[in-house]
C-alpha cells in the first residue's frame, strides 16, 4: 500500500471516529433532554410516576373571594392534586393523621424533646412521619377567617371544599348557626362516600368524638358546639337540625363508622343514666335517647367499650364503639392517673387498622391527636409536646401495621398555634428549659442567655394566652401553673419574673405569654403535610388545605370510581364535580 493511500485511510478513520463520538454525544444529550422534560424516554414513567400521571384540570378564573363557591373550591382542589400526579396512586386504603394545632414549631420542639428523652441532643432526632419521602405545605385559612378553626379546616379536608369557621361539612353560603341554610348545602365527605359504597371506615381521636375534627367526618351542622341535644337552639330544633352525637349514630351513609373511638360519653347518654366510671357524673342528653343502646341495636355484632381493659378483651372483629371518658380523653401526661385506664392513641390506631383491614374493598381512617391543640390553648408546652410524641407513636404503629404498597398514610395539622422557638440555645439545650447560650448571633458562654433587663428566658414561649405574668383573680403575679382559668388580669407591677430558680421543665409550668388572653389562640401560618405510600409522590409544594381530600380520593382508584359512576368525573376520570350527598344516602 502506498504512503499516500495509508495517509488517506488514517485520516478517514479519524474522521469516522470524530463523527461517531459527535453522534454519541448528540444522542446522549437528546436522551437526557427527553428524560428531563418527560418526552417519552424509556423508563421515564417509573422514574417519576407522579409526573407521568399528571392531569390538567381547567379551573375558571374568578374574583377572590366573592367568586368562591363550593363547586369552585372542589374543582380547584381536584386540579391541584391532579396536576401533581395524585391520579397515579393505587392505594387500597388511606389513613389521615391530624395533629390538631400541630404547628411546625410544635413538630420541631416535640422532635427535640423526644430525642432528649432517648438520651440524645434532640435536634437530629426524627418523629415517625419525618421519615416519609413526601412533604408539602398546607394553607389553612377559612373562607371567612384569616386564622382558622378546627371545624372549617377539617371540613375542608373531609369534603374537598373550604368553608367558614365554626361549621361542619356544609358549604360556605349560610352564616354560622343558620340551621335552614345549612340543611340546603351539606357537603359529601370522604368517609360518607366510602361507607355508602361498602368500604370500611374509622374515626379515632383523643377528644370527644363529637368534637370538630371527628365530627366533620359524618355530620353536617352550622354550629360545631351542637354536640348533644341540649346545645341546640329552639330555632334549630324547629328547623329540623340534629345534634352531632345523634348524627354519628343515625347517619344514613352505610352503617356509619365501623370503628369510632375517643371521649365524649356524656353526649351519648341520657341525663337519667349515671356514668360508669365517675359516680358524680351523668349523661347530658335531655331527649331521653340512649345513643349507646341505639348504636348496639344498629350493630348487633358490634362491641361497646369504655376502658382500656375492655378494649383489650374485645373480639377482634365486628364494629367497635369506644367512649373512654365523659369528656375529652386524658392528656398523655395525665393518663397514668386515670382510674379506669385509657388506651393510648397508638393502641387505638392498631385496633382500628386490625378491624378495618378485614374489609377486602379497603378502608378510610381518621386518627386525630386532638389534645395537642388543647394543651396549647392552656399555654402548656409540656402537654402539647408529649401529645405530639404520642401521635408520632401512633403513626409508627400504622406504618408497622400496613404496607406502603397499598396504604397511603398522610400526616398533617388542621391549623397552627402561637408557640415560638427563640433565642440561641446551645446544641442539646433542654427544649423546655431556659436558654443557655446567647441572645444574639455572637458566641454564647454556656450560661443563661439574658434579656435587656438581665433576666433569663425560656426557649419556648407563646404570643398570647394564660401564661401572662401579671396577677389574675386565680394566681399571683409571676410564673403561672397549669391549669390557669384566667380572669381579672392585671399589669405586672414587677415586670418579667426572674426564672433562675423556677423549674420551667415542670409539666405544669406555663410558658410566658406576651398578650394576656383567657386561652392561647390559633396561628394563621401554614402547616406541614407528610406522606408515604401510593400517591404520596403528588404531595409536594404549597397547596390549599382542601386539596388534601383530593390527594386521598384520587390516590384510591376504587373509591374515586364510585364518583365517576355518579357522573362526577371529567374525561380523564378525575372527580371534578361537587357530589350530591343524596345520591349516596341509603
Which of 434, 436, 343 shows the shortest CA–CA distance to 390?
343
Q: How many whole angstroms from its chain centre is CA 134?
A: 15
Nine-digit cell string for 370:
386532638
SS3 call for 424: strand
CA distance 534 to 538: 9
Name the band, by pLDDT with cuts 50, 70 and 90, for residue 441: confident
Q: Give tens-digit pLDDT for 258-269.
A: 999 999 999 999
Q: Identify the bridge partners of residue 544 per DSSP, sorted by sequence position.
A: 139
DSSP 65-81: TTT--HHHHHHHHHHHH
Nine-digit cell string for 308:
382500656
- Residue 572: is its pLDDT beyond 80? yes
CB 318 within 8 A of CB 302: yes
pLDDT mean over 335-348? 96
pTM of the model: 0.92
Q: Give tens-digit pLDDT for 488-497.
A: 999 999 999 9
Nine-digit cell string for 326:
365523659
- Which residue has cell 372483629? 317
- Which residue has cell 409508627? 396
Nine-digit cell string for 22:
459527535
CB 273 within 8 A of CB 334: no
- Residue 560: is its pLDDT beyond 50? yes
Residue percentage of the chain with pLDDT more than 90: 89
| Element (DSSP H or E) covering residue 353 | helix 345-356
- Structural domains of the chain ordered from first start: 70-417+529-583 (3.40.720.10), 438-521 (no CATH)
- Range in 40-44, 343-347, 364-368 the model is least confident about: 40-44
CA distance 96 to 77: 17
Name the band, by pLDDT with cuts 50, 70 and 90, for residue 445: confident
CA distance 53 to 37: 14
Which of 222, 223, 219 shows the shortest CA–CA distance to 191?
219
DSSP 6-38: HHHHHHHHHHHHHHHHHHHHHHHHHHHHHHHHT
DSSP 475-501: S-SSSEESS----S----SS-S---TT
CB 104 within 8 A of CB 528: yes
pLDDT mean over 137-144? 98
12 Cβ partners below 8 Å, 6+ apart?
none
CB 184 within 8 A of CB 167: no
| C-alpha to C-alpha distances, 289 to 19, 122, 270, 310, 387, nearest whole angstrom | 88, 50, 6, 24, 33
* pLDDT score recorded for residue 52: 79
CB 260 within 8 A of CB 209: yes
| C-alpha to C-alpha distances, 446 to 413, 436, 451, nearest whole angstrom | 35, 5, 15
- Which residue has cell 404496607? 403
Q: Give tens-digit pLDDT for 196-215.
A: 999 999 999 999 999 999 99
* pLDDT score recorded for residue 29: 39
- Residue 18: is its pLDDT beyond 50? no
* pLDDT score recorded for residue 278: 97
* pLDDT score recorded for residue 39: 38
Kindly report the length of the chain: 586
* pLDDT score recorded for residue 446: 76
193: Cα within 13 Å, side-chain hemisphere = 27
Nine-digit cell string for 542:
404549597
Indicate the burial class of 338 (C-beta count within 10 angstroms; 0-12, 13-18, 19 or more): middle
- Residue 523: is its pLDDT beyond 60? yes
* pLDDT score recorded for residue 47: 56
| C-alpha to C-alpha distances, 97 to 323, 395, 499, 516, nearest whole angstrom | 19, 7, 37, 32
Give, to the nearest 10 degrees, the angle between helix 345-356 and helix 381-401.
30
* Pair type for strands 513-516 and 460-465: parallel
CB 431 within 8 A of CB 477: no
* pLDDT score recorded for residue 439: 87
State the average pLDDT for the chain: 92
* pLDDT score recorded for residue 20: 43
CA distance 200 to 21: 60
The phi and psi torsions of 408 (rounded to 5 degrees) equal -85, 120
Q: Identify the bridge partners of residue 261 per DSSP, sorted by sequence position.
A: 204, 322
DSSP 506-558: STTEEPPEEEE-SSPPEE-S-EEEEEESTTGGG--SEEETTHHHHHHHHT-HH
Catalytic site positions:
150
Residue percentage of the chain with pLDDT more than 70: 91
Amino acid at each position: 500500500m502506498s504512503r499516500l493511500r495509508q495517509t488517506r485511510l488514517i485520516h478517514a478513520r479519524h474522521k469516522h471516529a470524530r463523527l461517531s463520538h459527535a453522534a454519541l454525544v448528540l444522542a446522549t444529550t437528546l436522551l437526557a433532554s427527553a428524560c428531563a422534560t418527560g418526552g417519552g424516554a424509556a423508563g421515564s414513567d417509573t422514574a417519576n410516576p407522579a409526573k407521568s400521571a399528571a392531569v390538567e384540570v381547567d379551573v375558571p378564573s374568578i374574583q377572590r373571594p366573592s367568586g368562591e363557591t363550593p363547586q369552585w373550591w372542589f374543582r380547584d382542589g381536584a386540579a391541584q392534586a391532579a396536576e401533581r400526579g395524585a391520579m397515579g396512586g393505587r392505594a387500597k386504603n388511606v389513613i389521615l393523621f391530624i395533629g390538631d394545632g400541630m404547628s411546625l414549631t410544635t413538630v420541631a420542639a416535640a422532635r427535640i424533646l423526644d430525642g432528649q428523652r432517648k438520651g440524645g441532643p434532640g435536634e437530629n432526632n426524627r418523629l415517625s412521619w419525618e421519615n416519609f419521602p413526601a412533604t408539602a405545605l398546607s394553607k389553612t385559612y377559612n373562607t371567612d377567617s384569616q386564622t382558622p378553626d378546627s371545624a372549617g379546616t377539617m371540613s375542608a379536608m373531609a369534603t374537598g371544599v373550604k368553608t367558614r369557621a365554626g361549621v361542619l361539612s356544609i358549604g360556605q353560603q349560610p352564616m354560622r348557626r343558620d340551621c335552614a341554610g345549612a340543611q340546603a348545602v351539606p357537603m359529601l365527605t370522604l368517609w360518607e362516600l366510602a361507607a355508602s359504597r361498602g368500604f370500611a371506615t374509622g374515626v379515632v381521636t383523643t377528644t370527644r368524638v363529637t368534637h370538630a375534627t371527628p365530627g366533620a367526618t359524618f355530620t353536617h351542622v352550622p354550629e360545631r358546639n351542637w354536640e348533644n341535644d341540649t346545645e341546640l337552639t329552639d330555632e334549630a330544633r324547629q328547623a329540623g337540625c340534629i345534634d352531632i352525637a345523634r348524627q354519628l349514630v343515625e347517619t344514613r351513609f352505610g352503617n356509619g363508622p365501623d370503628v369510632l373511638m375517643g371521649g365524649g360519653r356524656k353526649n351519648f347518654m341520657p341525663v337519667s343514666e349515671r356514668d360508669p366510671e365517675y359516680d358524680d357524673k351523668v349523661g347530658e342528653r335531655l331527649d331521653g335517647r340512649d345513643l349507646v343502646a341505639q348504636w348496639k341495636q344498629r350493630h348487633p355484632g358490634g362491641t361497646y367499650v369504655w376502658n382500656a381493659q375492655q378494649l383489650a378483651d374485645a373480639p377482634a372483629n365486628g364494629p367497635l364503639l369506644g367512649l373512654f371518658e365523659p369528656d375529652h380523653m386524658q392528656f398523655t401526661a395525665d393518663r397514668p392517673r386515670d382510674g379506669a385506664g385509657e388506651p393510648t392513641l397508638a393502641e387505638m390506631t392498631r385496633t382500628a387498622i386490625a378491624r378495618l383491614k378485614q374489609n377486602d374493598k379497603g378502608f378510610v381512617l381518621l386518627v386525630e391527636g386532638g389534645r395537642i391543640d388543647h394543651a396549647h390553648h392552656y399555654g402548656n408546652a409540656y402537654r402539647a409536646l408529649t401529645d405530639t410524641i404520642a401521635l408520632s407513636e401512633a403513626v409508627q404503629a400504622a406504618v408497622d401495621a400496613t404496607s406502603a404498597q397499598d396504604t397511603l398514610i398522610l400526616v398533617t395539622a388542621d391549623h397552627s398555634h402561637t408557640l415560638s422557638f427563640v433565642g440561641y440555645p446551645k446544641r442539646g439545650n433542654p427544649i423546655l428549659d431556659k436558654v443557655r447560650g446567647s441572645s444574639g448571633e455572637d458566641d454564647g458562654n454556656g450560661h443563661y442567655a439574658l434579656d435587656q433587663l438581665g433576666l433569663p428566658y425560656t426557649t419556648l414561649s407563646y404570643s398570647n394566652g394564660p401564661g401572662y405574668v401579671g396577677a389574675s383573680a386565680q394566681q399571683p403575679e409571676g410564673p403561672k401553673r397549669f391549669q390557669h382559668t384566667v380572669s381579672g388580669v392585671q399589669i405586672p407591677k414587677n415586670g418579667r419574673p426572674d426564672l433562675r430558680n423556677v423549674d420551667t421543665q415542670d409539666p405544669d409550668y406555663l410558658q410566658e405569654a406576651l398578650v394576656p388572653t383567657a386561652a392561647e389562640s390559633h396561628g394563621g401560618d401554614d402547616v406541614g403535610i407528610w406522606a408515604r405510600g401510593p400517591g404520596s409522590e403528588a404531595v409536594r409544594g404549597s397547596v390549599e388545605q382542601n386539596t388534601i381530600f383530593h390527594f386521598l380520593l384520587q390516590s384510591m382508584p376504587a373509591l374515586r370510581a364510585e364518583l365517576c359512576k355518579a357522573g362526577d368525573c371529567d374525561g380523564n376520570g378525575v372527580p371534578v364535580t361537587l357530589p350530591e350527598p343524596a345520591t349516596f344516602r341509603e
